Structure 1
Amino acid sequence: MKYTKYLLLLLFLLLPTSALAQAEIGIEINGSIIKTDKPAIIVNGRTMVPVRAISENLGADVEWNGEKQTVFISTNNYNYPEVSNKDNKKNINLVLNGRNIPTDQPPVITEGRVLVPLRFISEALGAKVDWLDETRIVRIDKTFEPREIVKLSEESIVSLEAYNTHGDLFASGSGFIIEDSGKIVTNYHVIKGATKIDVILLNGKKHTVTNILNYDEYRDIAILKINADKLASVKLGDSGRVSSGDRVIAIGNPLGLPNTVSEGLISNSKRLFAGQMFLQTTAPLSKGSSGGALINNRGEVIGITSAFFSTGQNINLAIPINDIKPFLKNNLNIELRDLIKPRGETALPDAPLNINIIFDHIITWEINYENDIAGFYVYTSDKKDTGFEKIIFNNKTSLLTEPYFLPYVQEKTDKRYYYITAVDANGTESSKSEVVAVIPVFGEEISYLNKVYYGQVEKGLPHGEGTMFWSNGDMYEGVFKDGKREGKGKQQWFNGELYLGHWQNDMMQGEGALYDPNNNIIYSGQWVEDYPVDFKNEKESIN
């Protein structure tokens, strides 16, 4: 009999914990398990969770007023109103965006944490809630507005500054934190050639990179490490599930402007370029955006913003985040100096290719944008074969950082000859490109929001001979009066059409001819207010 009792006791002790008590309730938001400092509990059949943990993970701000026993929740920077709770101090108020919201199960305070019904608070913040009985997990799904995505992500986006062996800043870019222990993702071309890299957080704190955990120069990926902890980190998504037409936002540091946000669409989810697959997006990028985060409407990073085409309209590329994930598993712990080859071993950068002349004035060229290069030098001469000198620009530097050049001079001159070289982060210069002839535009410069003017100026307006370039690719060259096209001029549109003739009050007026992109005449004759006379008369008779 004693033997039997001992055996029963032994079997009881060997029973798994799940047989003695139910497992803790798990909380999953957009596919990721959320850890809270106070476990969920069941009260009167309702799953109660810490209000701050859930609300902040759903993009809201939370403020607790102990005196008034009120939790204020805001999704749109709402100013919290004065709330009176004198007659109801036993219960806790919930206020969402200025509106008191009652619950079927009142909030409770446990170990200094306010717990609220999980389904109620999630649905109040626009999320969908499902209960998975088999795994005891509450699944919460939500799509975020751009302002909510920024709130969730902005502290995880960092600025990068790369310094060369002389201690000079030669490149800047973006990155994002993927682990709270200081692991950061960026593009390899942002850091290539650096002997020191500084990481600047949103709060202004600066950390120096200690090691390169992993990298791939060909895929343009680098994983950095700084000595820090308890940092805000992003959530990585699945770029394999991205579709063309998906809404995205990009956060980075273009032109050194921290945490700049732009919005757009995935214009192609499988764009093959230079032998590699990218996400193509309309979210605007600029120099310095490289290494930043491309984020979907679930608040997940789906790509590294990597390149843009300055000669196109909203054509931007991001490396799919799934390409980065294999590099997160292995830590190489490489020091920066091990990535830099001695100057004698450094191969020359490729020379710029496909030099093109647009509108007789603009030089464009092609290269694997920003990959392995720090910028370009532009050389000019009045002779085709000799006398070339490096151009010094208005900002007193000869290094051009965009693959686009618009030469202009203070006086009219005959055509000049140009060639371009590429320069890498170590200062190594490529061989020269082909030599091209360009007619420089002349005069003073006036910059507008979507266009730039070079030419004669009076009272701060284009007046006299000049040239206007629009950001969409249009160009006018001719006579201006009080800021408007007036007199004889040439208008070229980005689609290739050309008008040669007279203008009045910024409209085609008088004798002129319109040509198609193949230089065939579409119409030649008299124009009135931008219309051929025949078409104008026909239009008026219809009206």
Structure 2
Amino acid sequence: MKKKLLIGLIAFTMISGTAYAATAINGLYKGRAIVKVTVNGTEVKSIVPGQLIDGATMLPLRAIAESLGATVDWDGAKQSASITTQQQPTQTGLTLTQLNKLGESVGIVYQLDAQNKQIGTGSAFVVDGIAVTNWHVADGNAVSLMIDFGSSVQTVQVKDAVFKNEAADLIGFKVSGVTGLKLNTAELKKGDKVYAIGFPKGRFAITEGAYQFNSLVGTMVFDAGIGPGSSGGALVNSAGQVIGVVVGENDGSPNGHAIPTKKLQDELNK
């Protein structure tokens, strides 16, 4: 999609304390001080350089626009310039029907102690016949996990995990009869649409948000609402592919955290 901005001048003013200094450290152009311009660290070259004129910094429109990936068209009759910029295509997202279908592969986890007493809840989802959740969901006094997918309820023993990685906060168990989700390990861009699917506070929920950034500890930060019990749930992209394992709750905070699927894929490859 293209967006056009019509302007009537071929220069703009930068508000800066240095703009009013009438020094000529970069030389002169027709008696005026030259202003050196860089875009993302690269100097912008143009026939007519940036200049200080009457206390304002005037920059070459075409050179600046093209250095930012835009195009400029000049209309001599109207004495006006038109700048055209490229915009990213809008992500359409998933329908509620599609999201609910994905939710069939996500189950609520009941932590059971040695007396078969429930001591907590979490979430899990299936990939290639493996029910994936967080290590901390199975850690502690839990001896077994009962996972309810709606269509089936399966109980697994914590000691029978097919993989477990405390440092990565991941653990997996063999299950059967549940359709698995697809993984996507590609890098995300800030603002990419995401959906958190899990069981916060023991109730099935799908929340929409956007990817923000990767934290210093390597978790994915996103702003879809989650809560206690969401741990181990699936974070999916707008194509319905799992991009992370939900690990942190954001009750009272704008952001939640998820373990990138690359770490999960490493465990599955083992």
**Under TM normalisation by the shorter chain, which class is it?**
0.5 to 0.7
Question: 1:280 and 1:250 mapped to 2: Cα distance?
Answer: 12
Contact in 2 for aligned 1:143/1:298 (Cα 8 Å) = no
Question: 1:148 and 1:169 mapped to 2: Cα distance?
Answer: 32
The question of 1:251 aligning with 2:200 is answered no
Contact in 2 for aligned 1:152/1:299 (Cα 8 Å) = no
| Distance apart, 1:145 and its partner CA | 2.2
The question of 1:198 aligning with 2:146 is answered yes
Query: Where does residue 221 of structure 2 map in the other structure?
Result: 280
Q: How does 1:479-518 map to 2 (within 5 A)?
A: none
Contact in 2 for aligned 1:306/1:317 (Cα 8 Å) = yes
Question: 1:146 and 1:190 mapped to 2: Cα distance?
Answer: 30
Query: Where does residue 239 of structure 2 map in the other structure?
Result: 298
The question of 1:262 aligning with 2:207 is answered yes
Contact in 2 for aligned 1:158/1:201 (Cα 8 Å) = yes
Question: 2:209 and 2:102 mapped to 1: Cα distance?
Answer: 17
Counterpart code for 2:207? S
Task: Give per-residue Cα distances to partners, 1:289-309, cap 9 Å, x unaligned.
Answer: 000000100111000111024
Contact in 1 for aligned 2:196/2:246 (Cα 8 Å) = yes
Task: Give per-residue Cα distances to partners, 1:436-482, cap 9 Å, x unaligned.
Answer: xxxxxxxxxxxxxxxxxxxxxxxxxxxxxxxxxxxxxxxxxxxxxxx
Q: Which runs of 5+ in 1 are unaligned?
A: 1-141, 331-543
The question of 1:178 aligning with 2:148 is answered no
Query: Where does residue 106 of structure 2 map in the other structure?
Result: 157
| Distance apart, 1:288 and its partner CA | 0.3
| Distance apart, 1:165 and its partner CA | 2.0
Q: How does 1:94-113 map to 2 (within 5 A)?
A: none
Runs of 4+ in 1 over 3 A off after TM superposition: none
Task: Give per-residue Cα distances to partners, 1:368-399, cap 9 Å, x unaligned.
Answer: xxxxxxxxxxxxxxxxxxxxxxxxxxxxxxxx
Query: Where does residue 271 of structure 1 map in the other structure?
Result: 215
| Distance apart, 1:175 and its partner CA | 0.7
Among 125, 129, 134, which residue is 1:187 paired with?
A: 134
Among all aligned residue pairs of Structure 1 and Structure 2, give the percentage whose two residues are the same amino acid: 28
| Distance apart, 1:241 and its partner CA | 1.8
Counterpart code for 1:236? L
| Distance apart, 1:144 and its partner CA | 4.2
Task: Give per-residue Cα distances to partners, 1:349-380, cap 9 Å, x unaligned.
Answer: xxxxxxxxxxxxxxxxxxxxxxxxxxxxxxxx
Contact in 1 for aligned 2:184/2:243 (Cα 8 Å) = yes
| Distance apart, 1:151 and its partner CA | 3.8
Contact in 1 for aligned 2:191/2:212 (Cα 8 Å) = yes
Partner SS, residue 208 of structure 2:
strand
| Distance apart, 1:146 and its partner CA | 3.9
Q: TM-score, normalising length from structure 1?
A: 0.31
Question: 2:163 and 2:94 mapped to 1: Cα distance?
Answer: 33
Counterpart code for 2:257? L
Partner SS, residue 212 of structure 2:
strand
| Distance apart, 1:177 and its partner CA | 0.7
| Distance apart, 1:148 and its partner CA | 4.6
Counterpart code for 1:195? V
Question: 1:244 and 1:175 mapped to 2: Cα distance?
Answer: 26
Task: Give per-residue Cα distances to partners, 1:182-240, cap 9 Å, x unaligned.
Answer: 3111101011131111111123x2111152000111110011113x23x21111112x4
Counterpart code for 2:136? H
Q: 1:153 to 1:213 in 2, by over 3 A?
A: same
Q: 1:202 to 1:271 in 2, by over 3 A?
A: same
Task: Give per-residue Cα distances to partners, 1:255-292, cap 9 Å, x unaligned.
Answer: 1113x110001122x111xxx20111110010000000
Partner SS, residue 245 of structure 1:
coil
Contact in 2 for aligned 1:149/1:297 (Cα 8 Å) = no
Task: Give per-residue Cα distances to partners, 1:484-540, cap 9 Å, x unaligned.
Answer: xxxxxxxxxxxxxxxxxxxxxxxxxxxxxxxxxxxxxxxxxxxxxxxxxxxxxxxxx
Q: 1:237 to 1:152 in 2, by over 3 A?
A: farther
Q: How does 1:417-428 map to 2 (within 5 A)?
A: none
| Distance apart, 1:315 and its partner CA | 1.4
Counterpart code for 1:233? G
Question: 1:263 and 1:246 mapped to 2: Cα distance?
Answer: 11
RMSD of aligned alpha carbons: 1.7
Among 219, 238, 242, which residue is 2:188 paired with?
A: 242
Counterpart code for 1:281? F
Q: TM-score, normalising length from structure 2?
A: 0.62
Partner SS, residue 277 of structure 1:
coil
Contact in 2 for aligned 1:154/1:202 (Cα 8 Å) = no
Query: Where does residue 156 of structure 2 map in the other structure?
Result: 209
Query: Where does residue 166 of structure 1 map in the other structure?
Result: 115
Q: How does 1:341-356 map to 2 (within 5 A)?
A: none
The question of 1:318 aligning with 2:267 is answered no
Partner SS, residue 267 of structure 2:
helix
Q: 1:208 to 1:144 in 2, by over 3 A?
A: same
Task: Give per-residue Cα distances to partners, 1:118-175, cap 9 Å, x unaligned.
Answer: xxxxxxxxxxxxxxxxxxxxxxxx9642425414411111111111123221121101
Among 144, 161, 170, which residue is 1:221 paired with?
A: 170
Question: 2:94 and 2:183 mapped to 1: Cα distance?
Answer: 18
Question: 2:113 and 2:220 mapped to 1: Cα distance?
Answer: 31
Question: 1:255 and 1:289 mapped to 2: Cα distance?
Answer: 8
Contact in 1 for aligned 2:106/2:233 (Cα 8 Å) = yes
Q: Which runs of 5+ in 2 are unaligned?
A: 1-90
